[in-house]
Amino acid sequence: MEPQSESKATQATAEEDWSAVFVHAGAGYHSVPNEPAHREACASACRAAIAFLKNGGSATDGVEMALKSLEDNEITNSGYGSNLSLDGTVECDASIMEDSGRSGAVGAVRDFKNPSALARLVLENTRKPLSLKRVPPILLVGPGACDYAKQHCFPLVDNKVLVTRHAHARWTKWRKELDIAEHEGRAVNKRQRACRNPSSTSKTAAEKATMKAPMQPDGEDLVTDTVGCICVDRWGNVAAGSSSGGIGMKHRGRIGPAALIGVGTWISREGQSVVAATCSGTGEQMAHTLIASKSVNRMMTMEDEIEALGKSIEEDFMGSRIVKESIMSSAVGIMAIKIDKDSSKDRIRFLYGHTTDSMVMAHMTPSMKDPETIMSRNRNNPETCIGGKSIQACKLAME
């Protein structure tokens, strides 16, 4: 009996522990003076998630904890400290997806400190049947999401609590710039109506007045995009999620990619292979290109994951007609992982790519004392900046 018990123990200690957490705090422009704060925001999110994963928590638990940590940090554009809408209020989007295909999401919600937690509630309730064979929702928005939260005793906060001093200062600055641009546009239109054949100079001035965008001074961030997380639990289950306050000066009710499965977040499982991605960038263009799902599909089918990610950014996003013909600035950042549990290398492939000036990320496994943070800076903007590395799976110690 003793040799058999010893054999079982040896076999148990050889099992893989796939636990790992990967987070990003948005693609955009991260100022050098604020770089340490952005790195620490990602590191703190990793620590929050790994604490759950090390104690047997699920991948979904890890994603929720990481996103909540990012939402509570005012330097990120999610939850507390989000960009403000045109009327000066905070509206947030969030989603969480599991490799089973289940998901939960909320959009344009205004009275929640942690929209990711509400998305988790929606996700969990998809497992519960409703009376009369009704189908549980997977995406709730606006007042309907608020009613749903109240029904489930989910905590609400006053919207003013979510507005930080820095966010309000940005909004005030952009509000003045927008008022000036609109005044210039009206003046140009008035001159054009007074002239039957407006000159090309007038047209150019009108276009500039219409397309004028807020500019950031040196030392100020311009990160208007989604934060995201991908977690793997010890059994190799994968979950991913996104959270965002959306673009500054947006219309109330605007739904961004953080709430849209397949756009901001996507996971695909085929046999023992899993690919997950969470994205950041110009939301409307991401929605038109379905960039999360397309990048995952390429990484699942192509042998070289780095090449697959590069092709997805260059061809599926930047090469798409909707992006080429857009009058808006085009930007995307993708963080992804690929696992093949049939592989003898016991590894997780960590990948990222972005067309923006910068993208900040971090990752952590149970064997790491501290998270490893990355501030990827695009030296050849607007070229695509690509990176990646292999993360070794730990061995699960069992008695």
- Whole-number CA gyration radius for the chain: 23
User: What 3-state class would DSSP assign to 12?
Assistant: helix
Catalytic residue among 226, 265, 289, 355: 226
CA distances (Å), origin 313, targets 55, 146, 321: 37, 36, 13
CB 126 within 8 A of CB 136: yes
Q: Is 89 assigned a catalytic role?
A: no
Nearest to 317 by CA among 335, 304, 333, 301: 333
What does the CA dihedral 116, 253, 77, 139 come to, rounded to 10 degrees? 20
Which has the closest alpha carbon to 331: 283, 399, 390, 259?
Answer: 283
DSSP state of 50: H
Cβ neighbors of 18 (< 8 A, separation 6 or more) are: 232, 233, 234, 235, 236, 339, 341, 348, 393
Q: How far is CA 177 from CA 72, 207, 212, 223, 290, in A?
A: 29, 15, 8, 18, 32
**Which residue spans within 36-149 are E strands per DSSP?**
92-98, 103-109, 139-141
Cα-Cα end-to-end distance for the chain: 17
Positions marked active-site: 226
